[in-house]
Amino acid sequence: MTSSTDEQPITPTLARSAMGLLVGMIISVLLSAALVYSAAKAGITPGVSPLVVLFGWVIFGSLMRGKLKGFLAIAQVTGSAGAAVTAGVVFTAPIIQIVYSEAGLPIPPVDVVTLIIASIAGSLMGFGFVGLGTKRFLSDPRLPAPEAVAADRLISTAVANPGARPKLSISLLPGLLGGFLVNAFLELKYLAHDAFHATIGAPWDMKDADGNVQSDATSQVELPLPVSPLYLGIGALLTLPTALLVFAGGLVNASTTSYAGAEGMPDTTFRWVGGAAMTIAVVYSLLAYVLEGRKRSANATRSATAPANDPLLEQSPGTRRMLFLSILLGAALLFVMMARIGAPPLVLTVIGIVALVLVSLLSGLGGLLSLQVGSSASPVSGTVFMGMLVLSITALGVGLTGIEGIVFLVPIVVAACVAICAANDSSQDYKTLQLNGFTVSCGFSGQLLGLLGGAIAVPIVLNIADVGAIASTGLGLGGPDLPAPQASFFGTVLSSLFLDADIPWPPIFAGAALGLIAVGIEIFGKARGMILSSLAFAVGIYLPSYIGTGMMLGAVARFLGTRKVSATTHEGILVAAGLITGDAFASLILGFLIYYGFSTVPYVAGGDGGSWVPSAPWGTGVAQIIFFALLALIFVNYLRKRNARQES
């Protein structure tokens, strides 16, 4: 679909805006809260703008009628914003708990107040910087903006056929119910977490602490197959190549973990391998983007086809003043937060200025990369990692060391990550408005409201999740229930920088080599018109192997239904979203109960591979039946004959 920029710009009426803002705000808070669990468990947050559009169409399609287009346009901007805060907070905030745990120190609780301040500061700055750069981001029609195009097509379909809505009875409702009940039974220990559990002999020998081979011990690679609506649902939203690359990274994780155990290496070895691979992949992505941008700019100059001014992107002086004010308020909150944590004036000034410069640069980069590769594929983790290294070097330069230096630095990193993620999301949302012929600035208020709603909800839910995981397994963020893969890697790096730990070069070199291989695969795929993301492989390495396995199987079920790598159906999107959301809300409700004193059903330790045995005797058999039932549910809803309105 093409933009209607040759027509008069459209500004949604007050009725459409108010309704869209209200519904979007509710969705933003609920989604941001629910996705805390998926981000902490799987390290991935899918692009949710198309999901918000689909939900608004299904629920309000017949009610809005002629006002549907404006309603959906505003709702998708507002409703997806909170999920950006989720990614920004969960990818970075658990660093503190993870560092304390690995240092053997008493683990502090989640500092909700500080995280809310950091989240609001990052939201305000990211919102302001991206708003001011909107014209630069959206004036190039050659940027693909995949999530925006998907949301635009959904809006076009909804407006053209408001009554032909996808069937909730076969998609969203069973997905929600299945995700909720299955995860509830898993959390209550009635079902086995693993439907199947493969143990493969490893080709390396077990050694004791002195490096001597133990003749009576063998190395093994553990490959569990989880019963998880969350992982299957996320996989059902991924293309098969992406899911296979995440799965391949998980195999590397399992092998690395086994080898590290056999050699007496630290448990965090796989993080260095994955982090090095991710760094190589991110550097390649950034270089490729810069070179491609220069090439396009040169071609546009030679052909004299530079895009003309788009009236949809124009901003009034009052709007620009609001954006500048947003940046100033965010910066003021950032300094207030640093002063609240405690630091000398020189430290506050130097780190504050560096942080502001980084946020301005990385927010712009995040917005542009999102339009280039999509918000789900944009290298947020790598961009934040590079920013964290700059801030760390600055902090060390002004005398911050030890655990106190990490505690001071992490909230600043949280604010920067939230700003980058906000840019990542908003550039796609604003592009959707442009494609539908709406004045882009009419979505600014919705974007800001959605971000602020998420900024308050996410830290509260993260604290609840941490408390619940501690009650369940004895370990909170960074533990088996909530591995928080990005924060785990960042925490390992900060420990090495601030706590004088040795940097393990062999795993780093191994990860760098794997990263180069992954980049070669991406280049090979690009030459043949295929998307083979090196970042997906790198992310898979520092995800537990069972997560990659679950995602891969969900993607396989999708592929078998559509018979096409990138094809999808409305019902397929809804069932995947239902599984993710139902799973997350079960964890959220149980977390609330645990927070107020409820105890989970005890279970028996042991079982294959050190996993636990469910308290119910039928737990394993029923888990296997449920596992295949969830795959069948995904497959049926992705059947091409089920829905003629395919998105490719």
The β-bridge partners of 60 are: none
Percentage, residues of the chain above pLDDT 70: 83
The reply to whether 151 and 134 lie within a common domain is yes
The one-letter amino acid at 381: S
The residue written with tokens 């207030």 in the block is: 336
Q: Is residue 231 part of a domain?
A: yes
The pLDDT, as a whole number, for residue 415 is: 94
The pLDDT, as a whole number, for residue 108 is: 92
The pLDDT, as a whole number, for residue 614 is: 52
The pLDDT, as a whole number, for residue 119 is: 96
Hey, is 267 helix, strand or coil?
coil
The reply to whether 333 and 475 lie within a common domain is yes
Buried b (16+ CB within 10 A) or exposed e, 108-128: eebbbebbbbbbbbbbbbbbb
Q: Judge contact between 392 and 354, C-beta under 8 A.
A: no
Instruction: Give the number of other CB atoms < 10 A from CB of residue 304.
Output: 6
pLDDT above 60 for 602 = no
The reply to whether 460 and 423 lie within a common domain is yes
Q: Is residue 281 part of a domain?
A: no
- Looking at mean pLDDT, say which of 310-314, 329-333, 370-374, 439-443 comes out highest: 329-333
The reply to whether 129 and 185 lie within a common domain is no
Which residues are within 8 A (CB) of 224 and not within 5 positions of it... i.e. 6 or more apart?
193, 194, 196, 197, 198, 545, 546, 549, 609, 611
Cα dihedral across residues 425, 427, 432, 438: positive or negative = positive
Poorest-pLDDT segment among 188-197, 283-292, 348-357, 401-410: 283-292
CA dihedral 103, 108, 114, 116 (to 10 degrees): 110
Poorest-pLDDT segment among 319-328, 412-421, 439-448, 521-530: 521-530
- Nearest residue to 49 via CA among 155, 131, 142: 155
The pLDDT, as a whole number, for residue 592 is: 75
The reply to whether 147 and 37 lie within a common domain is yes
- The confidence band for 123, taking pLDDT boundaries of 50, 70 and 90, is very high
pLDDT above 80 for 3 = no
Q: Which residue would you say has higher pLDDT here, 194 or 206?
A: 194
The pLDDT, as a whole number, for residue 601 is: 45
- The confidence band for 584, taking pLDDT boundaries of 50, 70 and 90, is confident
The pLDDT, as a whole number, for residue 458 is: 95
The reply to whether 134 and 195 lie within a common domain is no
pLDDT above 70 for 617 = no
Q: Judge contact between 6 and 313, C-beta under 8 A.
A: no
Which residues are within 8 A (CB) of 298 and not within 5 positions of it... i.e. 6 or more apart?
none
pLDDT in tens, 235-268: 888 888 888 988 998 888 888 888 887 787 877 7
Q: Which residue would you say has higher pLDDT here, 459 or 645?
A: 459
The β-bridge partners of 10 are: 438
Q: Is residue 226 part of a domain?
A: yes
The pLDDT, as a whole number, for residue 436 is: 85
pLDDT above 60 for 645 = no
Q: What is the CA radius of gyration of the chain?
A: 24
- The confidence band for 286, taking pLDDT boundaries of 50, 70 and 90, is low
The reply to whether 147 and 191 lie within a common domain is no
Q: Which residue would you say has higher pLDDT here, 490 or 596?
A: 490
Q: Judge contact between 55 and 110, C-beta under 8 A.
A: no
Q: Judge contact between 220 and 203, C-beta under 8 A.
A: no
**Distance between CA atoms of residues 154 and 159, nearest Å:** 9
Q: Within its chain, how far is the Cα of 201 from the centroid?
A: 34
Q: Is residue 303 part of a domain?
A: no
- Nearest residue to 498 via CA among 585, 408, 432: 408
pLDDT above 50 for 5 = no
Average of per-residue pLDDT across 171-180: 88
- Axis-axis angle for helices 112-132, 317-341 (nearest 10): 150
Structure tokens at 350: 């130097």
Structure tokens at 224: 């569990």
The pLDDT, as a whole number, for residue 461 is: 93
The pLDDT, as a whole number, for residue 191 is: 79
Inter-CA distances, 428 with 124, 143, 374, 449, Å: 18, 11, 8, 17
pLDDT above 70 for 16 = no
Q: Is residue 578 part of a domain?
A: yes
What phi and psi, each to the nearest 5 degrees, are found at residue 84?
Answer: -65, -40
The pLDDT, as a whole number, for residue 301 is: 55
Poorest-pLDDT segment among 332-346, 471-485, 599-613: 599-613
CA dihedral 564, 570, 571, 576 (to 10 degrees): 80
Poorest-pLDDT segment among 93-97, 165-169, 488-492, 521-525: 165-169
The pLDDT, as a whole number, for residue 324 is: 95
The pLDDT, as a whole number, for residue 646 is: 44
**Distance between CA atoms of residues 606 and 618, nearest Å:** 16
Average of per-residue pLDDT across 297-324: 73
The residue written with tokens 């990550």 in the block is: 417
- The confidence band for 4, taking pLDDT boundaries of 50, 70 and 90, is very low
pLDDT above 50 for 593 = yes
The pLDDT, as a whole number, for residue 641 is: 54
- H-run or E-run covering 581: helix 570-595
The pLDDT, as a whole number, for residue 643 is: 46
pLDDT above 70 for 616 = no
**Distance between CA atoms of residues 417 and 117, nearest Å:** 13
The pLDDT, as a whole number, for residue 206 is: 67
The pLDDT, as a whole number, for residue 261 is: 79
pLDDT above 90 for 455 = yes
Structure tokens at 172: 């969203």
The pLDDT, as a whole number, for residue 246 is: 87
Q: Which residue would you say has higher pLDDT here, 282 or 576?
A: 576
The reply to whether 489 and 596 lie within a common domain is no
The pLDDT, as a whole number, for residue 125 is: 95
Boundary of a domain, candidates 465, 498, 531: 498
**Distance between CA atoms of residues 366 and 12, nearest Å:** 28
- The confidence band for 209, taking pLDDT boundaries of 50, 70 and 90, is low
Q: What total number of domains does the chain contain?
A: 2
The pLDDT, as a whole number, for residue 89 is: 95
- The confidence band for 490, taking pLDDT boundaries of 50, 70 and 90, is confident
pLDDT above 90 for 517 = yes
The pLDDT, as a whole number, for residue 450 is: 94
The reply to whether 190 and 147 lie within a common domain is no
- Looking at mean pLDDT, say which of 15-19, 158-162, 238-242, 440-444 comes out highest: 440-444
Average of per-residue pLDDT across 137-141: 73
The β-bridge partners of 198 are: 223
Which residues are within 8 A (CB) of 344 and not within 5 positions of it... i.e. 6 or more apart?
none
Q: Judge contact between 171 and 400, C-beta under 8 A.
A: no
**Distance between CA atoms of residues 3 and 180, nearest Å:** 40
- The confidence band for 435, taking pLDDT boundaries of 50, 70 and 90, is confident
Structure tokens at 145: 């903006």
- The confidence band for 538, taking pLDDT boundaries of 50, 70 and 90, is confident
pLDDT above 70 for 340 = yes
The reply to whether 109 and 160 lie within a common domain is yes
- Nearest residue to 576 via CA among 229, 185, 244, 166: 229
Q: Is residue 572 part of a domain?
A: yes
Q: Give the 3-state DSSP-derived string for 59-110, with helices as H, strands as E and coil as C.
A: HHHHHHHHHHHHHHHHHHHHHHHHHHHHHHHHCCCCHHHHHHHHCCCCCCCC
Range of the domain at 461: 19-165+308-498
- The confidence band for 225, taking pLDDT boundaries of 50, 70 and 90, is confident
Q: Is residue 508 part of a domain?
A: no
**Distance between CA atoms of residues 436 and 106, nearest Å:** 53
Q: Is residue 97 part of a domain?
A: yes
Percentage, residues of the chain above pLDDT 90: 22
Q: DSSP character for 502?
A: P
pLDDT in tens, 65-97: 678 888 888 998 999 899 899 989 999 999 999
The pLDDT, as a whole number, for residue 379 is: 63
The pLDDT, as a whole number, for residue 298 is: 63
The reply to whether 439 and 343 lie within a common domain is yes
Structure tokens at 578: 């239902």
The reply to whether 129 and 213 lie within a common domain is no
